[in-house]
Structure 1
Amino acid sequence: MPRSQAASCHSLVVRLPGPVDAAELERRLRAGAAQAWPELAALRLWEEPLPFDAAHPAAASRARQEAERPLHATGLPLRAVLLRHRDGTADLVLVARHGVTLDGTSLVFGRADAAAGLPAGDRPTLEWGLGDPAAAGRTAEVPVPLPQHLPGDPALLAAATALVLARYGAGEPLDESQDAAALRARWEIDHGGPSTLAGIGVLVEDGRPGQWRLPYLAPALPGLLHFVRHPDGTVTGTLRHDRGDLAPAVAERFAAHVARVADQLAQAPDRPLETIELLAPEETERVLRLGVTPAVGSAEAAGRTLDGLFADVVRRRPEAIALTAGDTILSYAELDARAEHTAAGLRALGVAPGAMVGVALERDADLVVTLLGVLKAGCAYVPMDLRNPVERLRYTVQNAGAAVVVGSGDAFPDVEGVRVITPDALRSLGAGEPPAAPRPEDGSAPAYVIYTSGSTGRPKGVVVPHRNVAALIEATREDFGLDADDVWTLFHSSAFDFSVWEMWGCLLTGGRLVVVDYWTTRDTELFHTLLVRERVTVLNQTPSAFAQVVETDRRTPAELAVRLVVFGGEPLDVRMLAPWFARHSHTDCRLVNMFGITETTVHVTAHTVTPADVLAAGREVGPALPGWTLSVRDPRGRLLPIGAPGEICVGGAGVADRYLGLPELTAERFLTDPYGGGRVYRSGDRGRLRPDGSLDHLGRLDSQVKVRGHRIELDEIRNVLLSHPDVVGAATVLGHDTPGDAATARIDAYVALRGPAATADVLAHARGMLPAYMVPSTLTEVHAIPLTINGKVDTAALPAPSAAPAGQRAGDVPAGDAYDALTAQILKLWGHALNVDVTPNDNFFELGGNSLLVIRVLREMREQGLPKVTTQDFYRNSTAGRFIEVVRDAQA
């Protein structure tokens, strides 16, 4: 029966002493009801004899069963059933629509003023409820364990509910500096009438001996707290809820929290709300344990270095292939020897152990050799992407204090006091050096420093020790079945921490690492061909990149050998995996969604995705990895219960050392856990813990966003814009051409100008300081940045973004009908991808294009019968007119 039909009914059960005259009772029912409801003059009293006494538990069960049975939509507005017990007593069960007022004492009925007593409209949802959609419409009930001495003050009970919901992140936030009395004063509700608080109804009624009532046979809201004040002064309460909205375990804890908070409010009316404890000590301990996954593997690895662990693999498998990069193939022994020469070269340059060494190389064999060699020298590597702006490269090497950068002299900018040396020159320098004296392994020493986006307008360096990476490999080795038979790809930039997992996950488990050059990573067909040719078994991808692999795989008959796909870098919308599962069995190829952060060593959780997850469209990222810990906390750092959303805090083996040179920020984000257990990192990510210890990732709490795997602080972009002398105000927001389509995600920026500069000048300024993935796709000039009453940027008041900055689309162009067929076709393809009108003078990337949209355009060109163009040619000819000529030449 529909939930709304049950929600429109209420019921009353009255215990009648024997003997009961059914005919007289039926007459009284008809007479009382017909006064307000003439159609009830023909009301019938249904009888059912029961084979047990009234005291038998089955008697109460049968009465409840009858009381919970709603009326038929087309029937009378009242049903009456007499349940006769063996001892002569009986239960009278009255079920009526809310328009019928029930009074079991006088058996007189009237018309109710309101049909349901709760506001109509869209049914609210509970973000914290963790309900099961498959159980929607099924009602459950849990007791509210109120203490016996608690007064039945409706304001107290409503205030307790409001405070619990506020801690759960529902409803309006409360000023917790006020006291309990002030909160109670805010929630004076009418006795006997329902009140609605953030999706939960609160109803306080007076009970009568021998009666009990269900105010709603199914909750009109996700949950209803029904409190009854009894003649003896006690109060009882139940939480009646829909299992589609509230999981039973969450409902039970919510009811207990309301009772606990009500008790504290009643005992100390002048107590500040911030001192009210939501969780009892035993529940706190239970929730903390839920987020802990015990470490696995060898405890010895925690004290080892990555180069020391690599040396173990070299001793076991010296002749096995360690690395393939284009035409270069290196065995473990050869890779080790080249890295030793690199380390010797660093020693020859006077680089001392513990120093930071910059590495700015393309993805090739030299990159892997150099990173390993830096570690062998006892140093930490600082990877940099050569495609970043000069100013960002210069800032990174200066901030890290690196005196040596291994890179190409003509590609890396001049920095005073910094020597740039090529990998070949460094190895040659070290070829004549004597072997280094053995040194004790120190797993606590820094292994690398990766720079991430920072809200100050400058990136911040995260210092990660060897032991963290060693713990990550130990935590996943057995579960993922990582061994010497695996072939991995090094797909990601070394400046992106996903590469840490790719490189060391492979080399420390004896696998073969296939280094993917930059242009192959930008061409999904080339990359798919590489996967097939190299028989890759372990693939690591951001969801945005894998979406393109899925599309290419769908069109080609070539069989992949991939057995494990690991997702990271950005949230995964599991629905995108439906085409993959249609072709690949989840028992043959395991897909694992891993939530992670640079500051907690790449990965934190792991969840195996199945076709059932695709149907559920959930946001689960799994439990903590072995050795890692998870908890969810409120803005004051207090532990939150299961289901309640808050800030994800990560502890355990993966927590990084610090931010380089930023002690205040380090102290703010890396905390000594007040609940014990060492240090935790405040992630700034929003999530909720499930009853099984798994985590749901719910996005960011701050201005940080993920765009195609890159972590971006919107405030960093804003501060760069504000550094232009003619910009007096700036705002940045995340936009999408197509909602939910990660490939169309973009950064939209807005500026208020005071000088002669045009938006094109400001955009050029941003390009000189930001990496390409952080440069705004649109830059719109506004008179002033709109603000809310609280002084924050009012994003809802910002205008639609401009298609392209002023001055960027120069030159007269012919009307659309003046284009030849090929030009019109290409411009239409570009316009469809970019969601903007395109002219031959426009640059694809200046209009908001990105690598994923490049792949999409090239795919659509092939589907329309146009010749194949490589991604490299696209990037080199990114103005529409030049690109059209490339296509025209290919046609000829």
Structure 2
Amino acid sequence: MSFKDLLISINKSFLESNEYDFYPLAKIQSFSEVKEKLINNIMVFENYPVDDKGLNTELLVKNDLEIVGSSGSEQTNYNFNIMVVYQDKILVKFLFNESLYSKNNVERIKEHFINLTDEIIKNENILVKDIEILGEDEKNTVLVEFNNTKVDYQKNKTIQELFENQVKKTPDKVAIVFDNKKLTYKELNEKVNILGLKLREIGVKPNDFVAIMADRSLEMVIGILAIIKSGGAYVPIDPKYPEDRVNYILSDCNPKALLTYKASTNIIGIPIINLSDKKAFTGDFKDIKNVNKADDLLYLIYTSGTTGKPKGVMIKHSNMVNYCSNNEKSIATSIFNSKLNNMGSVTNMTFDIFATEIILVFVNGMTTFIAKSDEQEDAFYLSAFVERNNIEILQTTPSRIKILLSHPEKLKTLKSLKYIMIGGEKVERDIVAKLHEYTNAIIQNVYGPSETTVWSTANELSKNMDKDNISIGRPIANTQIYILQKVSLCGIGIPGELCIAGDGVTKGYLNKPELTEEKFINNPYGEGKLYRTGDLARWLPDGNIEFLGRIDEQVKVRGFRIELEEIANVLRKINYIKDVAVITRENSNGEKSIYSYVISDINVDFKQIKKELRKELPEYMIPTYMMQIKEIPVNRNGKLDKKALPDINLESTEEYIAPRNKKEETICKIIAEILEINRVGLQDNFFELGGDSMKLLRLISALRKEGFDVGFDIIKRSNNIKTLVEILCTINDKCFNKKLKDENQIAINITSVPMEIEGDFINSTLYKELNKYNTNIYNATKCKQYVPLKVQEDFLIKESPFISALGIEILGKVSKTQILKSINNIMNSQAVLRTVYDSKNNILIELQKKDWYIPCFSKDEYNEVYNNLGGVSKCEKLFKTSDLLSKIIIIEKDTDNYLVYFYMNHAIWDFFTAQILLDMFKNTLLNHDKACIPEETYYEYVNRKRHHSKIVKMYNSIENIENNVETYIKSIKDNYNYLYKIIVTKQINQIEKKEIIEKPVEWILDKYCKIININDIMQIPFTMIYHSREAKTLNTLGLYADTIPCLYNINKKEVIGWNKEEKISNNSNESYELYKEKVPTKSNIFNELSVNVLISDSNKYNNNLKNNDIMITGKYAVGDVPEEIHMNINKNTLTIFCPIYSEKSMTEETIENMVKKIFNII
């Protein structure tokens, strides 16, 4: 449209509205929803000029009067007005509210007005879009001065070249730390090379995609770097993503391979490398020749898309090289100038900002510390992580920082922070003030979409912030920012779309050429492409940028970038949903939540709807609040009227059951306050009432302040408040009445102890001290002695005993004396910890003494001892037959940081022992309690089993079984040195799940027999190892298991000698124990196949089991099958593991056929 056409259109509207000239503006505004905000300014054409000629001059002279001048004044209630006065010339006045508009702002408006009129006068037919309102000076300011970011960098280099250069500079410097395990640059590079070469062998070449789906670990980072060095581009996938989303990403990017680590998958058709398999890192670690160019792809990151499916953003090496460069305009200039080193990695790898925590770190020779999942999610553990590792650099969201700051007792732990990057959401002034109060850190407010490579602008926030809307700063190195209205430049202070150009602009969207063309346009003000962000912003006079919001429906919720239309489209796929509206709203804390409104002809079940959404959307995109309405409200323009959508009733739909005691009252009150609802009852569920991940953080923080020892998993697995209270009180019954003082606050983390370590080296200091441990035996008094159970003998008589271990890390003001006192307390209450085995007489002997010797290692010995401690396999030779069956060591890792390791012979350890022992340790250390005396000691348990009448019945059962055993099945000897292994996993479907619940043992045995190809054998013998705990044994350490000889009838799919209902009944104390002297000599045939079953009569620990629910181990060799097969059912996954001991036993062809066969069977 030309300006002339616009003028004619306005004139027409003006004439048509003349009949309303005298209608009061105030009344018009009252009809509007926005009321007085409807009209912010007015334009007045003055129509009452003072005319001197109209005055009666004769009258003035007669009365000796003279008018020497005239003026008038008027006032409006509008903040900005333009007044046009007709005189000899046209006079234009700008009237403004000085509290809202500065004189400089109005001067700029005046200049824009003059420029506008000049353009129109020159050409009245000029197109409106072509009118330039900016003068040359202002244009130069926003185009050149504000974008003076050009700096030199290694433009033609790739990331692997920069990384390898750094390896050569600092080979022995620590590059990465995770869970107390660390790698130097040289060690990291070697592992990366081994894996990278394997990817090359698969056929990975430049611009090929390789997906990685891994839990947080060293292997996750090694995998990413290996993909880069192989020449490919990595595609991070969260293992927690729904299966549909994972499948869509894989089909969209068509990866050459998939790397996994502790992430189960049933994906077929893609080569999979399991990073938890040692073979992945076995091989040649020579340097890999670089095959990439700077313009090749580095990674593909998926973000929310409006179509209902995510879209992949393609980032090049050159983009990241510019981002990581060490120069005066870099995102990390202050890091480089201050020579900071320790970066805390708390971001998920599926976020593009994770590249800051690994790639920027590694190419600049720093050290990254990868936080574990609980340290990521839980502010309590995050603060401990920061303090323990002396973290100097941290990037996070304002929401997470806000939770971290809500722990006054942990604020002192943030002192090590020197540089904090906050982004992803609006930053509040009080957060900045608190960070400056408790840290000496430089605080950067950072901004940037994935499409322009991590962060694009940065603003260093000072202590004295005087603005509520904190700016997002200026563009970083080689980045240009333009504020546009369509393609026209906006001047200072004028809102428009924030657009980004420069060396950070990426290649666009994978397989979406139309969207790429729409969002990545040719830069009208410079070279290359310009990305239209959809964000609304304006220039401030000092060259900083003020973020104002969005011009579309994209939102940021808890730091996640979300297209609301993607959620709406997934909802519309549900066949009974006719229409939907999805919006966000803020609560009183400024936290955004997703609200969805649906229309349907039936009464919808929101639990079912959320279940459907979780099939395609990640958890952070699931609406917190949902409501069924009759129609979607629209405004006069036919668009969604968000303000007309009703408030969602957040009150519970469950029958209200009031709290019954002080504990329940306190927890219900806390939850009600966090969710901002009137009341919470015992039947209510935190998440169904509106809880989300950020509110969960606040809930954990509030509960800890009340003294409850609580974590994420506890709340997530609680069906309602009643269950939550029961779990909390079970874990720590006295915590409610024992709020810890700040100076005595202790955080306890469980650290993992590796169960398999290559080599056979034990540090000499450790060996010497652990052997001293045996002095405990010599000056102790023999208390009780008894014959071990048959199931215990299997672990006692081995030359190399099977050892289990529990590692505990203690953070806080606690002394070694307190720890020793706690351990002695537990040892005196738990007899199995002070038990020795007399192999000559085959008896277990309990010892008694006041104080037990526990080896303690100082800070100076920490590195020498801990780094060589290794896994339990290294410590097996320290357990002689005459030793105590348990050994404990304490290591002082640092000030207020201890490690305690419990090593125990499996003869006194079952699947429940670790959790029971941990709870005892917490109670005795935190609450200074004595360890509770068991209701039944382990000695009493053994005696009870020995004298039970079931023995005769079982003896007869054995003879019956042995008489029916096929004798020509050959067994394979124990062998622990396998060459490689086959692993197959499968998700269990609903039909299978029902079968497993009804007949778990029969189901897994049926699959086993089909795999080993038994056709002409009617039945096979096996041992049932039944792990069972009654309520009265939940405070006792020891091995609680029955060894039951059984027979499986293959045709009938029946088990002889096993009754599931009887075992689970209240009569489970009836003994099925068999004594060695009563078992016939040929009964070793039962040992070739074993089935482990885990059952607890109490929910206290049963719901927290990380071990297998059912596990089968078979060593039969019948035909062309693996020598050994392990199968286990864990939650909803079946895993089959086959170790291969020799090339002779199975060729590549037979292995391939075996895998196909397993797939067909399962």
Shorter chain as denominator, the TM-score bin is 0.7 to 0.9
Give SS of 1:616's match: coil
Look up the equivalent residue of 1:598 and give its one-letter code.
S
Match for residue 10 of structure 2?
183
Query: Could you tell me which of 632, 645, 650 is aligned with 2:495?
Result: 645
Match for residue 366 of structure 2?
511
Provide the C-alpha distance between the structure 2 equivalents of 1:327 and 1:780, rounded to a whole number of angstroms. 47
Matched, 1:713 2:568: no
Look up the equivalent residue of 2:716 and give its one-letter code.
Y
Aligned ranges 1:724-873 → 2 under 5 Å:
724-738=574-588, 740-742=589-591, 745-755=592-602, 757-803=604-650, 812=655, 814=657, 816=658, 819-836=660-677, 837-864=679-706, 866-873=707-714
| Deviation of the 1:441 alpha carbon | 4.5
* CA distance 1:202–1:509, shift in 2 (3 Å): farther
Match for residue 680 of structure 1?
530
Provide the C-alpha distance between the structure 2 equivalents of 1:219 and 1:313, rounded to a whole number of angstroms. 67
Matched, 1:400 2:253: yes
Query: Could you tell me which of 293, 306, 310 is aligned with 2:159?
Result: 306
* CA distance 1:626–1:553, shift in 2 (3 Å): farther
Query: What does the per-residue CA deviation read over 1:793-823, in whole Å, with 9 as the maximum and x for residues that have no partner?
Result: 2212222224379xxx66x553x26x33322
| Deviation of the 1:792 alpha carbon | 1.9
Contact map agreement 1:356 1:382 (CA 8 A) in 2? yes
Size of the aligned set, in residue pairs, is 696
Structure index of larger Rg: 2
Query: What does the per-residue CA deviation read over 1:250-293, in whole Å, with 9 as the maximum and x for residues that have no partner?
Result: 32221122223234445655655344332345643442224413
Look up the equivalent residue of 1:508 and give its one-letter code.
V
Match for residue 210 of structure 2?
357
Provide the C-alpha distance between the structure 1 equivalents of 2:711 and 2:606, rounded to a whole number of angstroms. 32
Contact map agreement 2:238 2:350 (CA 8 A) in 1? yes
Aligned ranges 1:41-56 → 2 under 5 Å:
none
Give SS of 1:407's match: strand
Query: Could you tell me which of 437, 452, 456 is aligned with 2:307?
Result: 456
Match for residue 100 of structure 1?
none
Matched, 1:472 2:323: yes
Considering Cα pairs closer than 8 Å and 6+ residues apart, tell me whether 1 or 2 has the greater RCO: 1
| Deviation of the 1:530 alpha carbon | 1.2
Matched, 1:259 2:114: yes
Contact map agreement 1:540 1:567 (CA 8 A) in 2? yes
* CA distance 1:272–1:466, shift in 2 (3 Å): closer
Contact map agreement 2:380 2:410 (CA 8 A) in 1? no
Query: What does the per-residue CA deviation read over 1:715-744, in whole Å, with 9 as the maximum and x for residues that have no partner?
Result: 110001001111110111102332x522xx
Match for residue 176 of structure 2?
323
Provide the C-alpha distance between the structure 2 equivalents of 1:689 and 1:570, rounded to a whole number of angstroms. 19
* CA distance 1:230–1:449, shift in 2 (3 Å): same
Contact map agreement 2:564 2:582 (CA 8 A) in 1? yes
* CA distance 1:535–1:580, shift in 2 (3 Å): same
Provide the C-alpha distance between the structure 1 equivalents of 2:408 and 2:353, rounded to a whole number of angstroms. 23
| Deviation of the 1:784 alpha carbon | 2.2
* CA distance 1:271–1:483, shift in 2 (3 Å): closer
Match for residue 288 of structure 1?
143
Matched, 1:385 2:385: no
Query: Could you tell me which of 382, 386, 392 is aligned with 1:527?
Result: 382
| Deviation of the 1:467 alpha carbon | 1.3
Contact map agreement 2:231 2:292 (CA 8 A) in 1? no
Provide the C-alpha distance between the structure 1 equivalents of 2:11 and 2:579, rounded to a whole number of angstroms. 43
Look up the equivalent residue of 1:763 and give its one-letter code.
K
Greater CA deviation, 480-489 or 641-650? 480-489
Matched, 1:601 2:453: yes
Give SS of 1:179's match: helix
Provide the C-alpha distance between the structure 1 equivalents of 2:414 and 2:646, rounded to a whole number of angstroms. 48
| Deviation of the 1:246 alpha carbon | 2.2
Provide the C-alpha distance between the structure 2 equivalents of 1:724 and 1:436, rounded to a whole number of angstroms. 52
Provide the C-alpha distance between the structure 2 equivalents of 1:630 and 1:207, rounded to a whole number of angstroms. 50
| Deviation of the 1:456 alpha carbon | 0.6
Contact map agreement 1:469 1:601 (CA 8 A) in 2? yes
* CA distance 1:537–1:627, shift in 2 (3 Å): same
Match for residue 925 of structure 2?
none
Provide the C-alpha distance between the structure 2 equivalents of 1:734 and 1:705, rounded to a whole number of angstroms. 8
Look up the equivalent residue of 2:307 and give its one-letter code.
T
Greater CA deviation, 535-544 or 870-879? 870-879
Aligned ranges 1:106-121 → 2 under 5 Å:
none
* CA distance 1:872–1:484, shift in 2 (3 Å): farther
Give SS of 2:497's match: strand
Greater CA deviation, 651-660 or 671-680? 671-680
Greater CA deviation, 397-406 or 460-469? 397-406
| Deviation of the 1:654 alpha carbon | 1.0
Provide the C-alpha distance between the structure 2 equivalents of 1:553 and 1:314, rounded to a whole number of angstroms. 41
How much identity, in percent, do the aligned residues show? Answer: 24
Contact map agreement 2:191 2:281 (CA 8 A) in 1? no
Contact map agreement 1:489 1:502 (CA 8 A) in 2? yes
| Deviation of the 1:442 alpha carbon | 1.3
User: 5+ unaligned residues in a row in structure 1: which ranges?
Assistant: 1-173
| Deviation of the 1:883 alpha carbon | 1.3
Contact map agreement 1:176 1:273 (CA 8 A) in 2? yes
* CA distance 1:213–1:771, shift in 2 (3 Å): farther
* CA distance 1:389–1:178, shift in 2 (3 Å): farther
Matched, 1:422 2:280: no
- TM-score, normalised on structure 2? 0.57
Provide the C-alpha distance between the structure 1 equivalents of 2:372 and 2:496, rounded to a whole number of angstroms. 40
Match for residue 666 of structure 1?
516
Matched, 1:626 2:477: yes
Contact map agreement 2:599 2:630 (CA 8 A) in 1? yes
Provide the C-alpha distance between the structure 2 equivalents of 1:609 and 1:447, rounded to a whole number of angstroms. 32
* CA distance 1:269–1:558, shift in 2 (3 Å): closer
Contact map agreement 1:178 1:273 (CA 8 A) in 2? no
* CA distance 1:651–1:505, shift in 2 (3 Å): same
Look up the equivalent residue of 1:796 and give its one-letter code.
K
| Deviation of the 1:506 alpha carbon | 1.6
Aligned ranges 1:334-349 → 2 under 5 Å:
334-349=187-202
Provide the C-alpha distance between the structure 2 equivalents of 1:682 and 1:311, rounded to a whole number of angstroms. 35
Provide the C-alpha distance between the structure 2 equivalents of 1:248 and 1:574, rounded to a whole number of angstroms. 26
* CA distance 1:718–1:503, shift in 2 (3 Å): same
Matched, 1:443 2:294: yes
Provide the C-alpha distance between the structure 2 equivalents of 1:577 and 1:559, rounded to a whole number of angstroms. 14
Query: Could you tell me which of 571, 577, 581 is aligned with 2:432?
Result: 577
| Deviation of the 1:558 alpha carbon | 4.0
Give SS of 1:621's match: coil
Give SS of 2:501's match: strand
User: 5+ unaligned residues in a row in structure 2: which ranges?
Assistant: 26-37, 53-66, 734-1162
Provide the C-alpha distance between the structure 2 equivalents of 1:782 and 1:185, rounded to a whole number of angstroms. 42
Provide the C-alpha distance between the structure 1 equivalents of 2:335 and 2:74, rounded to a whole number of angstroms. 48
- TM-score, normalised on structure 1? 0.73
Give SS of 1:735's match: strand
Provide the C-alpha distance between the structure 2 equivalents of 1:363 and 1:409, rounded to a whole number of angstroms. 9
Look up the equivalent residue of 1:820 and give its one-letter code.
N
* CA distance 1:415–1:178, shift in 2 (3 Å): farther
| Deviation of the 1:750 alpha carbon | 0.8
| Deviation of the 1:559 alpha carbon | 5.6
